[in-house]
């Protein structure tokens, strides 16, 4: 009986639901596997097999383009990473053009499945989504931004380097977030960068990222910024070689470099074809007294603390309340505390005291004083204060759940 049904199925003849279900319920794993892989299998049967006890069968369902989106949504929660990885590879290719407001139910389910996979606990699953979407101009913006803020470089780097969906604002916010090591370097490799983004890369004090920027021949760096990088390279020696080998180097920068770079870099500088004889002669003259700057070359590069960075960004007009949300989502608690302190005009010690108080009202009041949107208070209470779910205060009709007088009093109480 079963053999006859299988032969009928293989020849492409239509099986009724009961016949197809017999094959999908077979004790023979190879039979269920064959049904799961078939491009013309009935959607109901594929959905049925999405809960099969054998991983390879569920993985086949995840990979099958004919699988209904409802089954895909189910498989986003599968316990096996291999199943979710197969699903991520398939769903990511279906994603372009989808938005949160899609009216078509199937497309909406696809979008929701993609969002779930982009937040998967397994790095491999998130990496597959990122690598598939990295160059798609119509990839879902929210998914791309979430991947760009991922704590794992193998996930965030592909979209940071290549995604056309990320805006200048997105890139600047990520740079100022203290992202994963290597993330800013990935941004430096983009084929196009605005002057403001390049300024923020330099201001980040990420030497490797600035070196990558210097080696990026597809972007034009303003002479003023190149001069400041050159000045910094007096003490940050790892920037000297990328500067000397920069595809296009203004004459003024070449002369500055001649003051202090090492002998082997001087030779490379003099061999540049874009230096005219007069500039080359001036470079040679500069070399004659460059050893006088040896003390400067040995100066150590200083690192910026989270609070100092938050204060600088605030003074520059680039510290936004939304950055607190992003920092907490990325697990950057120290930076979130620093940003809160600057935005709320409190000391970091007071913010730390509020965070450790187990007081939901105090955390809500802190968010209010820092200028955060009401919808941010749930995240702040959970991530910064560790408030238990049953004690979390949620926004009331889009507003803060406490009165202004009470929030002012709480801030004064904790500030004393």
Q: Are 310 and 334 in contact (CB under 8 A)?
A: no
* N residues, the chain: 416
Angle at which helix 223-232 crosses helix 207-215, to 10 degrees, equals 130
Lowest mean pLDDT among 263-272, 349-358, 375-384: 263-272
Q: Please state the rounded mean pLDDT for residues 403-414.
A: 92
| 69/76 Cα distance (integer angstroms) | 11
Q: Which fold has domain 2-162?
A: 1.25.10
Lowest mean pLDDT among 133-147, 158-172, 203-217, 347-361: 133-147
Which range is most confident: 16-25, 92-101, 123-132?
Answer: 123-132
Angle at which helix 263-270 crosses helix 277-287, to 10 degrees, equals 170
Beta pairing partners, 399: 396
Q: Are 375 and 405 in contact (CB under 8 A)?
A: no
| 81/99 Cα distance (integer angstroms) | 26
Longest dimension (CA), the chain: 95
Residue 340 pLDDT = 95
- Encode pLDDT of 355-405 as tens digits: 999 999 999 999 999 999 999 999 999 999 999 989 999 998 899 999 999
Residue 107 pLDDT = 59
Q: State both tokens at 384.
A: 């910064």
Lowest mean pLDDT among 113-122, 137-146, 255-264: 255-264
Report CA-CA distances (Å) from 404 to 215, 234, 342, 411: 52, 52, 20, 11
Q: What is the CB neighbour count within 10 angstroms for residue 264?
A: 10
- Encode pLDDT of 301-321 as tens digits: 446 888 998 999 899 888 889
Q: Is the pLDDT of residue 98 over 60?
A: no
Residue 285 pLDDT = 61
DSSP 307-357: HHHHHHHHHTT---THHHHHHHHTT-HHHHHHHHHHHHT--HHHHHHHHTT
Beta pairing partners, 396: 399
Give the mean pLDDT of the chain. 83
| Model pTM above 0.75 | no
Q: Please state the rounded mean pLDDT for residues 39-64.
A: 82
Which residues touch 299 (CB under 8 Å, ≥6 apart)? 234, 235
Q: Where in the chain is the domain with CATH 1.25.10.10?
A: 2-162
């Amino acid at each position: 009986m079963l053999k006859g049904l299988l032969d009928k199925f293989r020849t492409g003849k239509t099986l009724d639901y009961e016949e197809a279900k017999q094959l999908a319920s077979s004790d023979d794993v190879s039979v269920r596997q064959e049904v799961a892989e078939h491009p013309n299998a009935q959607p109901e049967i594929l959905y049925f097999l999405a809960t099969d006890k054998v991983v390879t069968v569920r993985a086949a369902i995840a990979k099958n383009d004919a699988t209904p989106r409802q089954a895909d949504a189910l498989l986003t929660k599968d316990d096996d990473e291999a199943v979710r990885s197969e699903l991520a590879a398939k769903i990511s290719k279906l994603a372009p053009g989808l938005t949160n407001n899609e009216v078509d139910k199937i497309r909406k389910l696809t979008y929701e499945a993609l969002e779930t996979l982009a937040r998967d606990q397994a790095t491999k699953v998130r990496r597959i989504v990122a690598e598939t979407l990295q160059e798609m101009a119509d990839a879902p913006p929210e998914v791309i931004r979430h991947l760009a803020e991922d704590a794992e470089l193998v996930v965030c780097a592909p979209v940071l380097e290549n995604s056309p969906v990320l805006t200048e604002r997105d890139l600047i916010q990520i740079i100022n977030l203290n992202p994963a090591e290597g993330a800013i370097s990935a941004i430096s490799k983009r084929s196009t960068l605005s002057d403001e983004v390049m300024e923020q890369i330099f201001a980040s004090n990420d030497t490797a990222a600035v070196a990558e920027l210097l080696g990026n021949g597809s972007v034009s760096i303003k002479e003023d910024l190149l001069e400041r990088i050159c000045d910094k390279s007096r003490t940050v020696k790892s920037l000297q070689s990328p500067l000397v080998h920069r595809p296009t180097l203004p004459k003024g920068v070449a002369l500055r470099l001649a003051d202090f770079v090492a002998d082997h870099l001087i030779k490379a500088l003099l061999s540049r074809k874009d230096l005219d004889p007069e500039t080359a002669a001036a470079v040679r003259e500069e070399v004659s007294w460059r050893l006088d700057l040896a003390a400067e070359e040995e100066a150590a590069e200083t690192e910026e603390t989270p609070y100092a960075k938050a204060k600088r960004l605030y003074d520059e007009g680039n510290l936004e309340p939304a950055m607190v949300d992003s920092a907490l989502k990325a697990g950057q608690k120290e930076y979130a505390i620093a940003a809160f302190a600057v935005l709320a005009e409190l000391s970091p010690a007071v913010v730390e005291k509020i965070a450790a108080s187990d007081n939901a009202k105090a955390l809500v009041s802190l968010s209010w004083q820092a200028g955060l949107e009401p919808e941010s208070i749930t995240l702040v209470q959970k991530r910064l204060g560790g408030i238990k779910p049953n004690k979390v205060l949620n926004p009331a009709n889009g507003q803060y759940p406490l009165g202004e007088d009470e929030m002012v009093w709480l801030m004064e109480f904790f500030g004393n």
